[in-house]
Amino acid sequence: MSTLLFAPVTFNLAETTRMIQVARALPAGLRPVFMGYETDYVSLVRDAGFDYRPLEPAWTDAQRAQAMDFDQGRTMRSPFTDELVTARVAVERALIAELSAKAVVTGSNMTSFIAARAERVPLFYPVPFALTQPQVAQARRMYIVQGEGALARIADRLAGAAMRLAYNRLPLAPGAFAKVARANGVRPSRTVGSLIRADFNLLTEMPWELEGFDLPSDFERVGPIFAQIDNPVPAIVTELAEAPEPLVYLGLGSSASRDLALAAARQLGTLPVNVVAPIRHYLDAADRVPANVHVVDLLPAHKLGGLVDAAVLHGGQGTVQTACATGVPFVGMGLQPEQTWHVMLCARRGNAVSLPPKKAGSPDFLAAVDRVLTDPAIRTAAEEVQQAYAAEDGARAAARIIADNLAS
């Protein structure tokens, strides 16, 4: 029995569930063990039946927010101090050695990129294509500036050029990583893009999402990987699905905000629809939403196909892929370039409408929701995308690549 160490960022819902899906798909003879620092979604790992090892040091809320911003390209300021990176690499190396792990499978736990190499085990990284080195290097638009007008396109290309320089060419990787890498006998990464490049980068994309790009030899498409939580569909969802009003799913993942959740919920409250909204984690106790907006806890979104008529999403790849796989047309409000990229690819495919999040409280939001509810062309496109997704199993493909490489 060979052990694999899975290292998601456990306060990131999409990343944690992506790792769970890959672990579930592993063949017999490969034993997954999970590690993490924060506790937000550890219950999902344990509920799936996997061994979990809590590690220290964990982050404060402020450090977590800054780390998410850094990972998603919204800031160059890093919360990774010399002390934190040193401590985390040390505990991860110790765990790899204790388990005699044959490989590390990471989400975007950045110290894993040093620890795995220091222990001389291969590092596998199931990852969206957006904000990888080749995507940043080759993409004509990064959607830093949203909009399809001439001025927006020009501004976005200028912003993209600046990002390309900062991300892939300038030595802007946090100094702590270079210092700790050298101390552990690992060649340091100088650029932000190279800092999060693994030995095997497994792209969780559909074929059409990679058209026009040349992939390096260490990048390989595996296909979509999204959450499949075992919880039953709550009774309130099935009751609302049977009502005469359309049912809208409001899913904002783990990287949105209270302001966006409230703005979207209150606008949806003005429409003749019912809404099921797993946004409780964003709301304060005193917050009130319209009566037709039903706030619930985390839902098994992959089971909502045929129950909900449309969705409003934040653009995270997990929520977008779940909508695609279940044939649900959606309004997507990307909060940063990676998420906007996911939404724009679907908008081009025809199964979604892209909207800047700043318009969540505007008439444009209501028009976008009405469009995904009533436009037959969008619904047809959603059905076609759903059929294409039915032939994909990204978790199984990723597990096969991991197993094959370890066997060889």
Q: How long is the chain?
A: 408
Please calculate the CA angle 362-142-106 and round it to the nearest 5 degrees: 105
Report the DSSP beta bridge partners of residue 4: 32, 103
Q: What does the pLDDT read at residue 43?
A: 95
Distance between CA atoms of residues 268 and 273, nearest Å = 8
Q: Three-state SS for 263?
A: helix
Residues 247 and 239: beta-carbon distance below 8 Å = no
Q: What does the pLDDT read at residue 275?
A: 97
Place of tokens 């390309």: 164
Residues 14 and 107: beta-carbon distance below 8 Å = no
Phi, psi of 248 (to 5 degrees): -110, 135
Hey, what are 304's tokens? 């909502």
Report the DSSP beta bridge partners of residue 330: 311, 352
Strands (E), 94-213: 103-106, 123-127, 200-203
SS (H, E, C) 310-362: EEEECCCHHHHHHHHHHCCCEEECCCCHHHHHHHHHHHHHCCEEECCHHHCCC
Q: What domains are defined for the chain?
A: 2-224+392-407 (3.40.50.2000), 235-389 (3.40.50.2000)
Angle between helices 317-326 and 13-25 in degrees, nearest 10 = 60
Angle between helices 317-326 and 337-349 in degrees, nearest 10 = 20
Residues 128 and 107: beta-carbon distance below 8 Å = no
Non-local CB neighbours of 142 within 8 Å, separated by 6+ positions: 136, 156, 159, 160, 163, 337, 341
Distance between CA atoms of residues 65 and 340, nearest Å = 19
Q: What's the distance, CA 159 to chain centroid? A: 23
Helix (H) or strand (E) holding 61: helix 61-71
Report the DSSP beta bridge partners of residue 35: 53
Radius of gyration (Cα) for the chain, nearest Å?
A: 21
Report the DSSP beta bridge partners of residue 7: 106
Q: What does the pLDDT read at residue 202?
A: 98
Whole-angstrom distance between the N-terminal and C-terminal Cα of the chain? 16
Non-local CB neighbours of 116 within 8 Å, separated by 6+ positions: 96, 103, 104, 106, 122, 123, 199
Q: pTM for this one? A: 0.94
Q: What does the pLDDT read at residue 159?
A: 92
Helix (H) or strand (E) holding 36: strand 30-36
**Which of left, alpha, beta for 15 (phi over 0: left; psi -120 to 50: alpha)?**
alpha
Q: Three-state SS for 389?
A: helix
| Dihedral (CA of 51, 57, 61, 67) sign | negative
Phi, psi of 387 (to 5 degrees): -65, -40
pLDDT, block means (10 residues), the chain with 408 residues: 96 93 97 96 96 95 76 70 96 98 95 98 97 95 85 90 92 93 96 94 98 97 93 93 97 89 96 96 92 93 95 94 97 92 96 95 96 98 98 98 95
Q: What does the pLDDT read at residue 7?
A: 98
How many C-beta neighbours within 10 Å does residue 194 have?
16
